[in-house]
Amino acid sequence: MDVPVRFIDSIINNPLLMQFLVHRWFFLLEYDPRLDQLRVCDTRSRTLETLDAYLGSEKPEHATIFAEDRWKMRALLTGELYGPLEMRFLSPEGVYYSREVDARPVEDPARGTLYVGYAKDITDQKNQTQELLEQARHDSLTQLYNNRTGKELIDRYLQAKDPYASCGMLVIDLDFFKNVNDCYGHLFGDKVLQEFARLLRTLFRSSDILVRFGGDEFVVFLKDIPNTTLLQKTRQLSESVQQVKFWENDYRMTCSIGACFLPENTAGYSFDQLFENADWALYQAKQNGRNQYVFCDNLRRYAQAVPAGADGCVRH
């Protein structure tokens, strides 16, 4: 970015151009390391000050750069880092926003090496990117986590969890959901799925991980709970689902649930292993007539073919 200093001066001295730049949340800066003088033209009309003063190390209440990002500006204006770099700023109204900042050395015949640069607002771009990331992490119909994200979050928790913490997983199928689509149409089927997702958000904590695993299959992962609470929440879900009625088609929803518990002082398990346990229990619930839950706490079951009725399985 070889920008002559006289070009910067011509911009700064042009009121109309500066008004345009300010409107676009774009500002210019020029730093003289020999004199420790920083010239900034932005919405706050700063003109000349030391780098420390601008960064807020002398008067923190006047800082405009997010505290954790100030080192980036210092490194950029002393040649230790090359941009563009992303930094968070504080607006005069007290709102943080993101700017892309860059500065490069420019030789001035009279003053030697100066660092001349710019900053432009990228808040909208960042917000749009974040929205796209969130959309990619969630199921578009139910707004629950999708399969891939749910597995990642659960595996991350299992790898980092306190060894004294216990947790549980529910795998849930809506009973005879194919018949719902066949009899009442897919639009009504979508409404049923959305209502079930709403029920899950109502019954479980914000810290729990709610996943639409695919079709009418859902996964709920409950962090830091004892065995008795997992059983209680499973029973509550089974009973609450039966209270949901869709008047337009005189339809009542039921579900089958497989539950798996990971006790404290237990480590080294993955999503896939817990899912296999809970999914085995779900299969038992469906084989026994649906509209019920089966609680499986035998953690070795994922590696075994155990017949129905073996120890470690509680039917309700």
Residue positions annotated with a catalytic role: 216
3-state secondary structure the chain: CCCCHHHHHHHHCCHHHHHHHHHCCEEEEEEECCCCEEEEECCCCCCCECHHHHHCCCCHHHCCECHHHHHHHHHHHCCCCCCCEEEEEECCCCCEEEEEEEEEEEEECCCEEEEEEEEEECHHHHHHHHHHHHHHHECCCCCCECHHHHHHHHHHHHHHCCCCCCEEEEEEEECCHHHHHHHHCHHHHHHHHHHHHHHHHHHCCCCCEEEEEECCEEEEEECCCCHHHHHHHHHHHHHHHCCCEEHHHCEECCEEEEEEEECCCCCCCCHHHHHHHHHHHHHHHHHCCCCCEEEECCCCHHHCCCCCCCCCEEEC
Distance between start and end Cα atoms, the chain? 71
